[in-house]
Amino acid sequence: MVKKFVFIAFSVILFASCNTNELEFDNIDLPTVNGTFDFPLGTATYTIRELILDQEDSTLDFQVDEDSLITLLYYDSISYESNTDFIQIDDISNGSSIDLSGIAGTAGPATIPLNQSFTFNFDPTDPTDVIDSAFYSGGEVTISVTTDVQGTLDYTFTLNNFVTATNEIPLEVSSTNPTRRLDIPQHKVVLSGTNNTFSVDFAGNINLGAGQNFTGTESIAFDITFANQTFSVIYGKFGQDTVQVGSETVNIEFFKEMGEEGIFFGNPVISFFFENSFGIPIGIDFSGLYGDDGEGGQQTFLSGDIVDNVPVIASGDINNPGALVRDTIRLNNGNSSLVDLLATSPARLGFDVSAISNPEDPNQINFITNQNEINATVEIEIPLEVRLEDLEQSINLSLNDGFSTDFVGDEASEVDSASLRILTVNEMPFSATLQIEVKDSTLLRTNGTRPPGDSTLFSTPGIDVEAQVLASPFINVDGEVTDPNGIFEDIPLSNEGIEIFSSPPSDQTYIKMRVTLNTPGSLNSRDIFVKILSNYRLEVSLGIRAVLRVDLDDL
């Protein structure tokens, strides 16, 4: 079409000024003319919404508020239900002997009454824990008596601190057998609340028959064992313990797409929505919250006031054991180093969260049930209010067939010079400089500083590294763009660059544009955060502007 246009235009000029009968076409010497031509290579248009939806991140959700501000959302959960970490009562065994010193020399037939009281310990696994009361849901008590007295022994052990749960009648174990076992699921143990002791009263009779006597060398010994104990609820003072309530990880694929560093979020929040049925106030230790590269390397741990001063979630209701009490703890830029942690662009967040029981008062009255639990829903909110510092991103454009001079004839034209023209329309609140690579399966050419004698795309090595291809539009005081900005940049091609762009080596050849992004800063500070809205648009057009030398003699 251009060839035809050149020919027609030339003919119109010629015939308008001459008498055709006087012309000798064979003697006309046609000049060589230069013309500037633009060859589009492609255009890519992105919105923030499309960029986020393009990410293959099944764990990512996002929401858009009424002002179109995007917030990235990740979720996880933590669950903990090991009540034995706070108090544990294993099998308890106590024993003693009956004093027989006052009955030496007694002969039968006779009945010798015995009465004595004992005090024993009912210590949990950690003897610093103090039990006030505990309600049995299962268990057994076994009393074993050993004696070498003549005659028979009948006995009753009254366990004063072990009573029926309904009417508080003390537990009595009576027998003439050496061993007696009772199930105690409907009982409770009630202690003093100051030490873990209980009292036992022994009452018994030694029945001597005719010819039997008591010499004073005999003995009576016994053991009381509580075994297989389970409790529906335990009250007491459980002191301070540190336990691991959560060890979870969340993969943050978003950061893998955004690069390793250079992006700062102004107002990220991690919210923990706790549900606690333990009758224990729990301090949450966030010093084990970290970000890493996804494989455990380059770990960055959370710090700040919320780590130094552990927040506390409320105890369950002592009047309604087992009911859930809800509490919320939020990590933000005011109480933690969350901004700096996310600035490392972690591929994974780890929650090695510890709990500290009774962090403020270890003498507080607590309770636990056999169904206590701590659950937490973890919500990671990252509003796209950002600051960019040399954040690298890549945009790929296919070269297709490149640009060609076929339409004016290969023999009739030569490329005098050419430039890569980049035109951008930018609604996003950042600026960018550019580095370019041409690739297919391998790197073919690149711009930038090069060793002497090496090939380059561009006539001046490194000049386009500083080329500004995105200009930051006007941003108001709220950090929002009010007026898009357009900019174009021409980067002169070398002869090698012209050859590659005009005739790509394969149909898989493409241009990789590596842009370095920055948000605007003030004269005194870089700590300015801008809002990234869902409808912001970035349009990048790539083309070749070539000056062609056309020899009209060959047309």
Q: Token pair for residue 361?
A: 């008062």
Contacts of 72 (CB under 8 A, 6+ apart): 52, 60, 61, 62, 254, 380, 381, 382, 383, 384
Q: Do residues 325 and 230 share a domain?
A: no
* Tens-digit pLDDT profile for residues 503-550: 777 777 777 777 777 777 644 445 678 887 777 777 777 777 877 776
Only one residue has tokens 């990048």, namely 540
- Whether residue 131 is contained in a domain is answered as yes
Contacts of 19 (CB under 8 A, 6+ apart): none
Backbone φ, ψ for residue 381 (5° rounding)? -110, 125
pLDDT at residue 304 tops 60: yes
Q: Do residues 188 and 280 share a domain?
A: no
Is the Cβ–Cβ distance between 444 and 454 less than 8 Å? no
At residue 479, the pLDDT reads 66
Q: Do residues 121 and 150 share a domain?
A: yes
Domain count of the chain? Answer: 3
Measured distance CA(422)–CA(403) in Å, rounded: 15
Between 389 and 551, the higher pLDDT residue: 389
**% the chain with pLDDT above 70:** 76
- Whether residue 18 is contained in a domain is answered as no
- In this prediction, residue 12 has a pLDDT band, given cuts at 50, 70 and 90, of very low
Q: What is the mean pLDDT of residues 299-321?
A: 92
Q: Do residues 424 and 513 share a domain?
A: yes
- Whether residue 62 is contained in a domain is answered as no
Is the Cβ–Cβ distance between 515 and 390 less than 8 Å? no
Mean pLDDT of the chain: 78
Q: State which residues form the domain around 136.
A: 87-237
Q: Do residues 92 and 78 share a domain?
A: no
Q: How far is CA 415 from CA 137, 173, 405, in A?
A: 93, 111, 8
Alpha helices in 165-317 (DSSP H): 253-258, 305-308
- In this prediction, residue 338 has a pLDDT band, given cuts at 50, 70 and 90, of very high
Cis peptide bond N-terminal to 321, omega within 30: no
- Could you say which of 237, 269, 287 is where a domain stops? 237
Strand 300-301 vs strand 348-357: parallel, antiparallel, or unpaired?
A: unpaired
Q: Do residues 195 and 337 share a domain?
A: no
Backbone φ, ψ for residue 553 (5° rounding)? -60, -30
pLDDT at residue 157 tops 80: yes
**What distance, in Å, lies between the first and last C-alpha atoms of the chain?**
13
Measured distance CA(312)–CA(194) in Å, rounded: 26
- Whether residue 269 is contained in a domain is answered as yes
- In this prediction, residue 169 has a pLDDT band, given cuts at 50, 70 and 90, of very high
Q: Is 553 exposed, middle or buried (0-12, 13-18, 19+ CB in 10 A)?
A: exposed
* Tens-digit pLDDT profile for residues 13-41: 222 333 333 333 343 333 445 667 777 76
Q: Is 166 exposed, middle or buried (0-12, 13-18, 19+ CB in 10 A)?
A: exposed
* Tens-digit pLDDT profile for residues 50-63: 655 555 555 677 78
Q: Which of 133-147, 363-377, 504-518 has the lowest mean pLDDT?
A: 504-518
* Tens-digit pLDDT profile for residues 408-460: 444 445 777 788 777 887 777 777 777 777 776 555 544 443 433 344 666 54
Between 143 and 390, the higher pLDDT residue: 143
At residue 268, the pLDDT reads 92
* Tens-digit pLDDT profile for residues 193-251: 788 999 999 999 999 988 888 888 889 999 999 999 999 999 999 999 998 887 888 88
Measured distance CA(309)–CA(147) in Å, rounded: 60
Prediction pTM value: 0.71
Phi-psi region of 117 (alpha: psi -120 to 50; beta: other; left: phi over 0): beta
- In this prediction, residue 10 has a pLDDT band, given cuts at 50, 70 and 90, of very low
> Count of CB atoms within 10 A of residue 145's CB?
20
Measured distance CA(495)–CA(452) in Å, rounded: 16
Nearest in space to 222 (alpha carbons), one of 354, 116, 338 = 116
Is the Cβ–Cβ distance between 141 and 173 less than 8 Å? yes
Give the CA dihedral 289, 291, 297, 303, nearest 10 degrees. -60
Length of the chain: 555
- Whether residue 544 is contained in a domain is answered as yes
Contacts of 89 (CB under 8 A, 6+ apart): 124, 125, 131, 134, 229, 231, 234
- Whether residue 48 is contained in a domain is answered as yes
Contacts of 41 (CB under 8 A, 6+ apart): 397, 399, 400, 402, 403, 501, 511, 542, 543, 544
Q: Do residues 309 and 210 share a domain?
A: no
At residue 441, the pLDDT reads 56
Q: Do residues 421 and 445 share a domain?
A: yes
- Whether residue 42 is contained in a domain is answered as yes
> Count of CB atoms within 10 A of residue 205's CB?
17
Q: What is the mean pLDDT of residues 247-268?
A: 75
Measured distance CA(345)–CA(264) in Å, rounded: 9
- The type of residue at 337 is S
CATH no. for residue 187?
2.60.120
Q: Do residues 92 and 79 share a domain?
A: no
At residue 282, the pLDDT reads 94
Q: What is the DSSP string of 254-287?
A: HHHHH-SS-EEESS-EEEEEEEE-SBS-EEEE-T
pLDDT at residue 310 tops 90: yes
At residue 85, the pLDDT reads 86
Measured distance CA(248)–CA(24) in Å, rounded: 91
Between 548 and 274, the higher pLDDT residue: 274
Q: Which of 91-100, 183-192, 431-440, 487-496 has the lowest mean pLDDT?
A: 431-440
> Count of CB atoms within 10 A of residue 368's CB?
26
Q: Which of 121-135, 177-191, 199-213, 384-398 has the lowest mean pLDDT?
A: 384-398
Q: Do residues 379 and 412 share a domain?
A: no
- Could you say which of 358, 383, 408 is where a domain stops? 383
Q: Do residues 484 and 524 share a domain?
A: yes
Question: Which helix or strand (DSSP H or E) is residue 44 part of?
Answer: strand 32-47
Q: Which of 82-91, 170-179, 464-473 has the lowest mean pLDDT?
A: 464-473
Between 486 and 32, the higher pLDDT residue: 486
- Could you say which of 383, 417, 439 is where a domain stops? 383
Is the Cβ–Cβ distance between 154 and 204 less than 8 Å? yes
Q: Do residues 500 and 513 share a domain?
A: yes
Q: What is the mean pLDDT of residues 125-148?
A: 94
Q: Which of 190-194, 252-256, 302-306 has the lowest mean pLDDT?
A: 252-256
* Tens-digit pLDDT profile for residues 94-116: 999 998 887 777 887 989 899 99
- Whether residue 442 is contained in a domain is answered as yes
At residue 523, the pLDDT reads 42
Question: Which helix or strand (DSSP H or E) is residue 6 part of?
Answer: helix 2-17
